[in-house]
Structure 1
Amino acid sequence: MKNKVVVVGGGMVGAAMALKLAKQGAQVTVLERHLIDAQEVLANAQIDIRVSAINRFSESLLDELGAMPLLRDSRIAPYHQLEAYEQPNNTLLFDREEVSQTHLGHLIENKLIQASLWAQFTEHSIEVEQVKSAPVALEQNIDSITLHYEDKAYQADLIIAADGGRSQIRQLAGIGVTGWQYQQACMGILIKLDAPQQYKTWQQFKPSGPIAFLPMQAPYANLIWYQDGAKLASLQSFSNEQLKEQILEHFFELPGDFTVEQKALFPLARQHANQYSQGRLVLVGDAAHTINPLAGQGVNLGFKDVAALAECLEPLEDMGSTQALKAYERKRRGDNLAMMSMMDACYFGFSNEVAPLKLLRNGVLKIADQAGPLKRKVLEHAMGW
């Protein structure tokens, strides 16, 4: 059986991919530049400013991989409601009760998701090797694929590139991308609230860019602020106290008083690989598609890639089967493209002050909130079902 797999990149999606295939019997090696001690990360009280809105599909995958129980014992925050609006009198509100669920998803720190997955590696005999330099060559033949670094080569039946939006493996393979940089940037701001646990995450669309509130485990929350890159760059130089004054001018629905704990700038880009596979190489997660983080769907799309690729590979004697890798792309390309386009429609549709469009979009939100079965379908899609 040809089942030797090398996963390049041990982030959230790469780690999940490694575990999923190891559970299916593959011999898996993970190559990662920055090694972590999973137990140390899980025990660390330091809050990570990078968070993900994990939907119910992703939660089920993390449960299957043994990660979710560790996360439930760590810092985790369920959210019960999702709200989007431009004007307070025209809101689109999704509630757990509309789908008879206890919650819609969880807000979890990225480092905790990664660590909870890494904690399962030993049990499933996954090898982890640190690579300190960039790969220099990728060599393929009918029976195998070899990834070369300056000091070592890794031969496998399948190589999975999970090394992010700037994937070096994708570039080595000569796989191009289409996409663009957005004109705005995004600032994440970790705050400590003087308020009880919050269960609603919301986004408000403004001409200068959207803002969002992501409730983490009390007393923390994450604010997302889209704005002109130069404006955010100047805000980054502010003291925490000065930044708080700016937040109070732009964020109107924060519960209680707060202090600013951390801040970080994140670039905004959309890109889509022209193909998801080449021979015995396949792309997953951000290496295949980078989405506007407006609704926090990036990692959820990556986890859907994991499930789809594993499903296509499960019955095979040869995990590097070109036919299976092409089937995976057919499963995922359309869904990924649809989500990317929907996020762009929201981003561009609400990022201007053209009067007719402003009237139309607020009317759409109001109608959508009263759409009954259609609204339920949209909510189920957001949950990953």
Structure 2
Amino acid sequence: MSEKKYQVAIIGGGITGATVACLLAEKGISVALVDAGDPSAEWPQESYDLRVSALTLASINVFKSLGVWDEIVQLGEQPIEKMYVWDHFGSGELAIDSAEAGEMQMGAVVENRITVLALWKKLQLLKSCDVFKLTQLMSFETNEDGVSIQLSKNTQVNAQLLVGADGSNSKIRQLSGIEHYGWSYQQKALVAIIKPEKLHQNTAWQRFLPEGPLALLPLRDGLISIVWTSSVETTEGYLALSDSDFCRELVEASEQQLGKLELVSQRGAFPLALQFSSQYCQQRMVLIGDAIHTIHPLAGQGANLGLKDATVLADVVLKAHIAKRDIASEQVLRRYERQRKGDNLLMMGIMDGFKRLFAADQSLIKLTRSSGMGLINQSALLKNQICKYAMGV
């Protein structure tokens, strides 16, 4: 059995896990990054990942600091310069332009596989990081001195700190017995890549419909990525339609903002839920990203929350390392938890509140909602604040 010692072992090589690995390994921390797939694998040309993220300027700055943003741009990113939101009820609308806030863009839409590939390319250049592809976590044991981690392929690694970046169904969280709370929204989000008749104008479009929001995000090559939230039954019905019938429904739902629409990918769907853990860490183990929080996608903040977790965790670990303290001490891990828990809970509460506000069917609430959007749209100050919030600054 092969066995090697590291300072940090990270399970999950997606955006959050790979970012933590980069932030630590480039500072000389020895890192083992383990992923059940092969994030460095090539993909067919003219194909698109249904999983995309609307990255804020704050998240983009993290990637710039790591030196991977140029690679992401080369592989294919799409700036978001404007945002247009409107309600199915009344005349409520909100138009925001990043130029009015003194910025060239408020963020960018990037396929998840592009972001991950850029990060993995960086990791393969860092001597302090070993990557384990197509490798699964089997079990782990912690003690006062470290963590013994059993992987597939008859491999074992030892580390001072174990990081769970293994998603909403985190095996590390389950093996640790950490309780997870939340509820299902009884909704599914339908995702697909669409070719619009009209230019997307570097604009993120979102219409609030009775069953949930429809987001049309600008994507590379003049395409758009849609995230269409509806009840489970309605979404299943959309998935069963022919391509032409589905596009006809989509054109109607978007009120022809981008003209005729053509499907250029498969359609996929995933269930929506709010989930959170009250406990972020245990002895020599810590959770980040979707392993501790999942939120409604109506504002596209899931990946950005995970990146905030990644940067804060890396910061407290590096500070402990520089001070020659135990990087996995309870004091260090609790500092990360204190810094992130409040922000994560606030964002989850805001997104849940927005979801319920725009799903409300009472006439008075709908009227107030529509009027409120109109009033905000007339205030340059409020729109600039919303724009800065969307940028993550």
Give the structure 2 partner of residue 142 of structure 1.
Answer: 144
Check the 8 A contact 1:197/1:217 in 2, yes or no: no
Q: Which amino acid aligns with 1:288?
A: I
Give the structure 2 partner of residue 198 of structure 1.
Answer: 201
Give the structure 2 partner of residue 327 of structure 1.
Answer: 335
Q: Which amino acid aligns with 1:330?
A: R
Report the RMSD for the aligned CA atoms in angstroms. 1.8
| C-alpha separation in 1, matches of 2:327 and 2:71 | 30
Give the structure 2 partner of residue 129 of structure 1.
Answer: 132
> In the TM superposition, what are the counterparts of 1:201-216 in structure 2 within 5 Å?
201-216=204-219
| C-alpha separation in 1, matches of 2:157 and 2:90 | 56
**Aligned in 2, Cα 1:14/1:279: closer, same or farther, shift over 3 Å?**
same
Q: Which runs of 5+ in 1 are unaligned?
A: none
Residue 3 of structure 1 and its aligned partner are, at CA, apart by 6.5
Q: Which amino acid aligns with 2:95?
A: L
Q: Deviations over 1:329-351 (max 9, x none)?
A: 11111111111111111111111
Q: Deviations over 1:304-331 (max 9, x none)?
A: 1111111111221322122111111111
Confirm whether residue 284 of structure 1 aligns to residue 285 of structure 2: no
Confirm whether residue 315 of structure 1 aligns to residue 319 of structure 2: yes
Give the structure 1 partner of residue 308 of structure 2.
Answer: 304
Give the structure 2 partner of residue 268 of structure 1.
Answer: 272
Give the structure 2 partner of residue 360 of structure 1.
Answer: 368
Percent sequence identity over aligned pairs: 33
Residue 56 of structure 1 and its aligned partner are, at CA, apart by 0.1
> In the TM superposition, what are the counterparts of 1:1-385 in structure 2 within 5 Å?
4-37=7-40, 40-41=42-43, 44-86=45-87, 87=89, 89-125=91-127, 126-130=129-133, 132-135=135-138, 137-149=139-151, 151-262=154-265, 263-316=267-320, 317=324, 318-385=326-393
Check the 8 A contact 2:200/2:258 in 1, yes or no: no
| C-alpha separation in 2, matches of 1:47 and 1:275 | 36
TM-score, normalised by the number of residues in structure 1: 0.94
**Aligned in 2, Cα 1:124/1:140: closer, same or farther, shift over 3 Å?**
same
Residue 131 of structure 1 and its aligned partner are, at CA, apart by 5.0
TM-score, normalised by the number of residues in structure 2: 0.92
Q: Which amino acid aligns with 1:142?
A: E
Q: Deviations over 1:176-202 (max 9, x none)?
A: 111111111110121112333521112
Q: Which runs of 5+ in 2 are unaligned?
A: none
Check the 8 A contact 1:194/1:219 in 2, yes or no: no
SS of equivalent to 2:119: helix
Residue 30 of structure 1 and its aligned partner are, at CA, apart by 0.6
Check the 8 A contact 2:109/2:217 in 1, yes or no: yes
Q: Which amino acid aligns with 1:261?
A: V
Residue 128 of structure 1 and its aligned partner are, at CA, apart by 1.1
Q: Which amino acid aligns with 2:69?
A: M
